[in-house]
Structure 1
């Protein structure tokens, strides 16, 4: 039986680098394109690539993710997250490929203390969130078989992320200050990749919230990380006012996984369990020299 072809944009990022090997192990034939392979803002180049490979599905992970920089350079954020997404969606539709678009918790304002389910109104606080919401709207407008997978607080073995930054800083400092008034859902790239594959294997199109289950503040996240990693460092909680940023962040962006549950997908495991697996895997990798 011929293996289904899956194209992955942004394959050089932290999600793409875990997703492609998992797709292959799951019986697919993935091809990954990073920025050097494909400029998603070039509509002709995108159409040419996708028509040449003719994938059964496209997982669109490529994005402009410089949240603070986007406040000064909104044109770049929209060029990638809106126009680039339109190019990928149109090309995927042209060859009859399913499309998974990776979005973010930043489409929500983060007010209140009720978990955000998929049907709640979006109201981004910053340019990055607005540009990603624009991508969601475009996908649903120009494509017929789409999944929007909103995720949050993503970390993994590759690329830059909060977990790796904390481990690095703990090796340099005895005391760390971590924000305690922003609450959300950490998401391990491996768990996110597995959920994406389950979506691809279905016909249950629509918008999904995909994160590990539970919630924590960045401070609680860091504390648990150091406990699991056996790292001795003092961590002090601080408010967001201590480290002002150009882009506003949602104070509460915890996800409710209503769509996953309603469509019969398995529950996402707790964030603490996923983090424990990451720490074990990452420690082994570091001991092997990368």
Structure 2
């Protein structure tokens, strides 16, 4: 069996390659091998590799920058998914596994979002990812997730570690609630969903909930315990209104993951446990 992974050098793409089940041949491609904004490049790579499963992990993820680059965000997050689905259908009949986001929701709920909740994206990024869901096709597996991070990647955890080492104090938004997600667990879930083979939409996050402020406090506490930081600094909770950004983010984006966990049989691991795991991996990277 053969899998093609887009965004192979990113956090999730790297994790998908690292967690591949025995017996799978995995081919990873990134921008240099397959420009997601180029329909012909997509068709050429799918034709050449003829995968049984295509993990669509590559994306335009610069949420704020997307507000000023809607066309390229749509090409990569939306239209590219349609081109991949069409190429698979025409060439191999393989399965598309599309990774989507909690940002397709508007954050007005106060209980976890089920998969059939009405989407209402607040940003260009969210709208383009929703377009990708629509273009994935009825036979696709769509998995929404949030706040993805991994050792060695470009993410909130590593940014916080750097700022905590450089600054004397930090202010972090406390009124956006969601759940951090370690890329390794997400990758394992995507492989499991692929093995089950049931098309449809699924949700996956690490267990538990947090604000960005909660996440930052935990990062500092865990990093101090591991000796990754020399001192603690004050972290002040602030409102979203105090930290304006070009893109509007949902205030609440906790996803209901119960059906996904029941289907895959994978354990629910709390985000703080996975944070500790990631920090130890980061420490080993030096």
Corresponding residue number in structure 2 for 1:193: 187
- Native 8 Å contact 1:118 1:259 kept in 2: no
Could you say what secondary structure the match of 1:171 adopts? helix
* 1:73-222 → structure 2 map (5 Å cutoff): 73-94=69-90, 95-141=92-138, 144=139, 146-222=140-216
- Tell me, in whole angstroms, the C-alpha distance in 1 between the residues paired with 2:61 and 2:268: 24
TM-score by length of 1: 0.92
Q: How many residues align?
A: 279
Q: Deviations over 1:163-199 (max 9, x none)?
A: 0000011110121111101010100011111111111
Could you say what secondary structure the match of 1:149 adopts? strand
TM-score by length of 2: 0.94
Q: CA 1:18–1:263 in 2, change beyond 3 Å: closer, same or farther?
A: closer
Residue 268 of structure 1, CA deviation? 2.9
Could you say what secondary structure the match of 1:140 adopts? coil
Q: Deviations over 1:67-97 (max 9, x none)?
A: 1111122111111111111111111222111
Could you say what secondary structure the match of 1:64 adopts? coil
Could you say what secondary structure the match of 1:148 adopts? strand
| Structure 2, gaps ≥5 residues long | none
Which residue of 47, 68, 82 corresponds with 1:72?
A: 68
- Tell me, in whole angstroms, the C-alpha distance in 2 between the residues paired with 1:235 and 1:282: 22
Could you say what secondary structure the match of 1:80 adopts? helix
- Native 8 Å contact 2:81 2:136 kept in 1: yes
Could you say what secondary structure the match of 1:281 adopts? helix
Could you say what secondary structure the match of 1:100 adopts? strand
Corresponding residue number in structure 1 for 2:237: 237
Q: Deviations over 1:195-239 (max 9, x none)?
A: 111111112221111110110000100111111111422211111
- Tell me, in whole angstroms, the C-alpha distance in 1 between the residues paired with 2:74 and 2:145: 19
Q: Residue 269 in 1 paired to residue 269 in 2? A: yes
- Native 8 Å contact 2:152 2:282 kept in 1: no
